[in-house]
Amino acid sequence: MSFKQREHLRNLAIKRHENALFRLKNALGYDEDFYKFKNGRLNVAKLARCAGVSEKFARRELDIRGLI
């Protein structure tokens, strides 16, 4: 694989990550109570489904921000 191909794939991966992060932040900014259980914990699976990202990605990013 040439340098240009690697660089292009890297740029695509970065763009995909930024897009997913934007969707996740947008979903969180909408209404956080919509994504909570009755006991007050955040329903990560529901949030991930609504944002269109994987549950693992959502859990990792929320953990980094200290929201779960």
Domain count of the chain?
Answer: 1
pTM (2 decimals)? 0.76
Band (67; pLDDT cuts 50, 70, 90)? confident
pLDDT 10s digits, 8-45: 999 999 999 999 999 999 988 877 788 888 888 889 99
Contact predicate 68/40, CB 8 Å: no
Domain that holds residue 8: 3-65
